[in-house]
Amino acid sequence: MRSRRLGLTALAVLALLLAVFFSLAVGSRAFAPSEVAGALFRGGSGDAAQVVRFLRLPRTLIGLMVGAALALAGTVMQGLTRNPIADPGILGVSQGASAAVVAAIAFAGVHTPTGYVWFAFAGAGLASVVVHGIATRGRWGTPLFERSRELGGGATPVRLALSGAAINALLVSVSMAILTTKAAALDEFRFWQVGSLTGRDIGVAAQIWPFLLVGAVLVLSVARGLDALALGEDVARGLGQNVATVRIVGGLGATVLTGAGVAAAGPIAFVGLAVPHLARAAVGGGHRWTLPMAALLGPVIVLVADTVGRIVFPPSEVPAGVLTALIGVPFLVTLVRRRAVPA
């Protein structure tokens, strides 16, 4: 089993390297491998050097970061909630980022992806705090929360899901209220909302990488706890795991990763849903293997979607979020048909 895991991990690394190469070489104008290598390592002032270094390299770096962030966040959320269709949006994080960007465009005069980052990240963090606060302070005694009471209270999966759904609905309403009264904001926001790497520069990558690093460290630190939690909370406690700590650290890490990823590229759909299933199919359910595999496969999905989007209707581009959604919808239907989703 270990040799199989190592072999598949090596294949995932190879797939990631190929995805990076094609992201740098392919677009409305293709460049030969020698031109790409020359642009990266020798510089120069030719067309290849200008396009590869200043246009494609930044969006490739951001694609790597965003893909890894959303895939890791989705894997952790599915582990925490023990729900195979959970993804980073379950806590309202994505919609919190979207609402903050709407407000920034409409009221703060922010009009660049670099400017969106801090507003989106703040909105994501605030939404997560509110959701956790509501889930932690929910009322006892109703049938809906009976299971939560049996488990000792706190921000249980049922409470988190319900609180996230409520905050999502509220934030959608707030966003729509702003957009219907600010026509100029609607025209600008729709390009960010669909999820895309277009127009992102190296400054965006420089802003988000520290958060991605912190988030990755947090989620990797609870890998053993997630394995124990998959056996049930009582079993996890019997194995010496502090369930509350696993939830808090894992949830915080997923929030940081989602906030940074969404802030950088918009809410790219279905990466957090589909990639964890692909990772588990490759290396099994142990999170010490699943999390690194997800971090490799997530960027592959995002970079391939971005590269294909550049060439299907040249010289126009199809945003990466559109293509990942086209892939993700049949994937979700397949999960339902295989009864992977509990009734």
In a domain, 342, yes or no: no
* Mean pLDDT of all residues belonging to the chain: 84
Number of separate domains in the chain: 1
For residue 74, give the nearest of 342, 267, 245 by alpha carbon. 267
Mean pLDDT to the nearest integer, 265-285: 89
Q: Has this prediction a pTM greater than 0.75?
A: yes
In a domain, 325, yes or no: yes
In a domain, 51, yes or no: yes
In a domain, 293, yes or no: yes
Among the ranges 108-122, 212-226, 327-341, which has the highest mean pLDDT value? 212-226
315 preceded by a cis bond (ω within 30 of 0): yes
pLDDT tens per residue, range 79-89:
988 878 778 77
In a domain, 147, yes or no: yes
Q: What is d(CA 155, CA 221) in angstroms, rounded to the nearest whole number?
A: 20
Domain with residue 150: its CATH number is 1.10.3470.10
- Per-residue pLDDT at 274 exceeds 80: yes
For residue 77, give the nearest of 284, 282, 252, 333 by alpha carbon. 252
What range does the domain containing 168 cover? 2-337
Q: What is d(CA 38, CA 25) in angstroms, rounded to the nearest whole number?
A: 12
Q: Structure tokens of 13?
A: 């690394």
In a domain, 343, yes or no: no
In a domain, 90, yes or no: yes
Secondary structure (DSSP) of 253-313: HHHHHHHHHHHHH---TTHHHHHHHHHHHHH-S-HHHHHHHHHHHHHHHHHHHHHHHHHSS
pLDDT tens per residue, range 205-231:
888 899 899 999 999 999 999 999 888
> Where do runs of H (alpha helix) occur along the chain?
2-25, 33-41, 47-51, 57-81, 93-107, 113-136, 146-150, 157-181, 183-193, 202-221, 223-229, 233-238, 243-265, 271-283, 287-311, 320-337
pLDDT tens per residue, range 160-209:
778 888 898 999 899 889 888 887 777 777 777 788 888 788 888 888 89
In a domain, 277, yes or no: yes
How confident is the model at residue 141, as a pLDDT? 44
Q: What is d(CA 26, CA 20) in angstroms, rounded to the nearest whole number?
A: 10
